[in-house]
Structure 1
Amino acid sequence: MEPVLRAWGANSYGQLGLGHKEDVLVPQSLKDVSCKRRDIKNITGGGGHSAVITGAGELFVCGHNKEGQLGLNHTEDVLRFTLCTALSGFCVQEVACGWDFTIILAGDGLVLSCGSNAFGQLGVPQISGPCLIPQKIESLKEKAVGIAAGLRHALAATESGLVFQWGTGMASRAKRAHQGKTLPLFLTAKEPCEIKGLEDVKVKRVAAGSYHCVSLTDEGHLYVWGSNKHGQLVSEEVFLVEPKKIDAQFFSHEKIGAVWSGWTHLVAQTGGCCFSWGWNEHGMCGDGTEANVRVPKPVKALGYAKQILIGCGAGHSLALCQTSR
């Protein structure tokens, strides 16, 4: 049976790829999809745009395009998934969608970006206006293995285990929380700047929320920095200007295999459990309440089913599970 691509939710810019701009309350199948549905490798979304990667490394995009975030060399909204032909010479491995920009990881560890650069979130400071075609981030000299996009900042994890950050979207909150103090350069950089405080670990994955960042090391530990407004960084500080390790005791000393971030909540997966914490107003931490979760808690409703894949939106969470039945 051929897989079916379905979409639902906010659709003000055509980001569902259904050919119109009406919100959709119940999942609808995308019947006219130019990419082969059975060949889809990854799906993700941003402030108002969506992206699909095929097994062949092609990138299809739709939705909001006012800042050129779809990389199609124009600024008109696109109502159906459309091939980004500007990337025809690249094999796309991963894509991260911010509020109004897109970060792309291609083969050979190259990182490209397009869309708004008002906060330096493209990592290419010489571009002043919107970038309509994906551009290589030339100053990122190391090969990347992972990328992430926040509201107006971005991250890249490299082959050697380093993490680079760019975009000034977190800077104003950092300044308010640490008035009069000098901020680390990576919080105000408009091109990739190495994160300080991770020199003794090797990072393999990164994730980003609206105003925070997360790194997962090869030893299964989490390091976090940025805004802690809703307790998503497991700290007493309002804003962490440098990476802080989350104590392994919160995860029953189990090694973390993967991590995902919504705008203000986090989900981590270990070998035997799924943990979540942070903003919980809409119940996205899955603990049965709407109170913020200040320390990681197991999502008991998932039981001990094997979580194959987790997804986080601004205020919701999803888990694809495989039971023993």
Structure 2
Amino acid sequence: MLSAFATVSQSILECLAQILMETHARLEFCLHSWGANSYGQLSQGHVEDQASPRLSNIAALQNRPVRAISGGGGHSVVITESGEVFVCGQNNRGQLGLGHSADISTLQHCPILNQRVTDIACGWDFTLLLTGSGCVYQWGTGLFSYAKRALSPHAVPSHFNSKVPCLVPGLDQRISHRVTAGSAHCVCLTGDGDLFLWGSNKHGQLTTTESFLSSPTLLKRSLLDGEKVINVWSGWTHIVAQTESGRVFTWGRGNYGQLGRQISASEDTEQQPAGPVAQGGTQEVGLPAEVENLRGATQICCGSEHNLASVGGSLLSWGWNEHGMCGDGSQANVFLPQLVPGLRPVLIGCGAGHSMAVCAATTGTETNSAPLE
């Protein structure tokens, strides 16, 4: 499937460019997609699920190079290098930003106020984007019901009830650098290292006692020991952030091990916006805490409830493991980051319930050099 949070990395593009220079070859890109396709989110012109990769219909791109791709519960979004946006799939809540609610089974251009788009994030049934000028837009009504319940009898802000891109208020004095999203929450990282959070707080992922935040709310730096944030990732119900010193903090839902750390008794009861934790129930951890053995990670990615990280050239995994995506040969959840043996990744990526790693390998007959796995 077109996986949530998937991007085309600059580092892999640089590797490909080097290959081209060395081989004098011409490289052409195509888009493959597979998996659930009930709404046409694979951009193949039909709504049949696909168990193996197949070429997507990218005629609308007209050979434009792709910068990033992202997927939500049933919709997909593609950004080109020139900053244009193309969408397909489920649109019952206006999550495609086209102003209507009809599903689209092949990629279609989404006009975004004539602004260049630099980053994209899909929630379950809403979409966030970041423009080159640092503005954040949101569309899709997937969070409307959450907002209505939380804010009644007050009106719901327009960015929760729009089927076309709508400017997110409260960030106008900031230059945003990155956006990411969970199933029902939103995250924005600014250029000066601050995090803003909004949306559903059912699992404590917004670090507040409020059940819902209608506008971007600053995460206090004191919760991260006063450090600036340099990158942020989101699973469906948890958040991972890396600070300027290389430290990695996690918070939000932890019952599958997706926080990658032990939960203390005091921490377990400090903030429970969704109610008390029953035996075997959900652990709600609203305050960030460091995962020490992830310090210095060079790459991190989140699936729905599991994670991967590259640390010191090795691959670590933790969290939900029902489908074996933690790579340890079992289906038992992993509560602390553990080594995935035999892999030294160049790039890593997660889907909702699967994991990927691009690894380099040397070829030849030299006896004094060990191959990279």
Amino acid paired to 1:159: G
| Distance in structure 2 (CA, Å) of the matches to 1:174 and 1:31 | 40
For the pair 1:46 / 2:72, whether they are aligned, the reply is: yes
Alignment match, 1:156: 188
Selected match of 1:307 from 346, 357, 360: 346
1:268 pairs with 2:315: no
In structure 2, the residue matched to 1:89 is: 114
1:176-229 Cα offsets, whole Å, 9 max, x none, are xxxxxxx72576311100113136111111111111111111222211111101
Change (3 A) 1:260 1:184: same
| Identity within the alignment, % | 38
How many residues are treated as equivalent by the alignment?
A: 306
Pick the aligned partner of 2:217 from 193, 204, 222.
Answer: 193
Code of the residue aligned with 2:184 in structure 1: it is: R
C-alpha separation between the residues in 2 aligned to 1:187 and 1:320?
Answer: 39
Supply the distance in 2 between the matched residues of 1:166 and 1:207 (Cα, whole angstroms): 15
**Are residue 316 (structure 1) and residue 348 (structure 2) matched?**
no
What is the one-letter code of the residue matched to 1:272?
Answer: G
Write out the 4+ residue segments of structure 1 that deviate beyond 4 Å after TM superposition: none
1:87-129 per-position Cα deviation (integer Å, ceiling 9, x unaligned): 15111111100000001011121111000232349xx952286
Give the 3-state SS of the residue equivalent to 2:59 in structure 1: coil
Specify the SS of the correspondent of 1:132: coil
Instruction: Say whether the 8 Å CA contact 1:2–1:38 is kept in structure 2.
Output: no
| Partner SS, residue 133 of structure 2 | helix
Correspondence for 1:30: 56
CA deviations over 1:54-89 (Å, ceiling 9, x no partner): 11011111001111111111110011111111x151
Contact 2:138 2:159 in 1 (8 A): no
How much does 1:20 deviate? Answer: 0.6
Tell me how far 1:31 sits from its aligned partner.
Answer: 4.1
Moved more, 286-295 or 33-42: 33-42
Q: How does 1:124-139 map to 2 (within 5 A)?
A: 125-127=156-158, 130-139=161-170
User: Aligned letter for 1:188?
Assistant: F
Structure with the larger strand share: 1
Q: Distance in 2 between matches of 1:257 and 1:299?
A: 16
TM-score when scaled to structure 2? 0.77
**Residue 146 of structure 1 is aligned with which of 168, 171, 178?**
178
Q: Where in structure 2 are the equivalents of 1:1-325 lying within 5 Å?
A: 1-37=27-63, 39-85=65-111, 87-116=112-141, 117-118=143-144, 119-120=146-147, 125-127=156-158, 130-140=161-171, 141-168=173-200, 170-171=201-202, 173-174=203-204, 184=208, 188-196=212-220, 197-198=223-224, 200-233=226-259, 234-236=261-263, 237=268, 238-247=283-292, 250-251=293-294, 255-302=296-343, 304=344, 306-308=345-347, 310-325=348-363
Distance in 1 (alpha carbons) for counterparts of 2:123 and 2:161: 14
CA-CA distance at 1:258 after TM superposition: 2.3
- Distance in 1, Cα, partners of 2:210 & 2:297: 26
- Tell me, in whole angstroms, the C-alpha distance in 2 between the residues paired with 1:285 and 1:48: 24
* Rounded Cα–Cα distance in structure 1 between residues aligned with 2:174 and 2:362: 42
2:132 counterpart letter in structure 1: G
Code of the residue aligned with 2:262 in structure 1: it is S
Gaps of at least 5 residues in structure 1 are 176-182
What whole-Å deviation, never above 9, does each CA across 1:262-293 have from its counterpart, x for those lacking one?
11111112341121100101011111111111
Q: Which amino acid aligns with 2:285?
A: L
Asked if structure 2 preserves the Cα contact closer than 8 Å seen for 1:58 and 1:88, the reply is no
Corresponding letter in the other structure for 2:161: P
Task: Find the counterpart in structure 2 of residue 179 from structure 1.
Answer: none
Asked if the contact 2:157–2:214 (Cα under 8 Å) also holds between the matched residues in 1, the reply is no
**Structure showing greater Rg:** 2
For residues 328 and 179 of structure 2, what CA distance do their matches in structure 1 show? 29
- Check conservation: 1:307, 1:320, Cα contact below 8 A: yes
**8 Å contact 1:125–1:191 — kept in the other structure?**
no
SS at match of 2:342: helix
> Which amino acid in the other structure matches residue 57 of structure 1?
G
CA distance in 2, matches of 1:129, 1:36: 32
TM-score (norm 1): 0.88
Shift of 1:299: 1.7
C-alpha displacement of 1:30: 2.0
2:225 and 2:335 map into 1 onto residues whose CA distance is 27
- Kindly tell me: are residues 313 and 137 of structure 1, through their superposed partners in 2, closer, same or farther at Cα, counting changes over 3 Å? same
Paired residues of 1:147 and 1:155 also in contact (CA < 8 A): yes
Bigger shift: residues 158-167 or 203-212: 203-212
Q: After the TM superposition, which of the residue ranges 95-104 and 185-194 deviates more from structure 2?
A: 185-194
Would the aligned equivalents of 2:187 and 2:196 in 1 still touch at CA under 8 Å? yes
Quote the Cα distance in structure 2 between the aligned partners of 1:214 and 1:37.
35
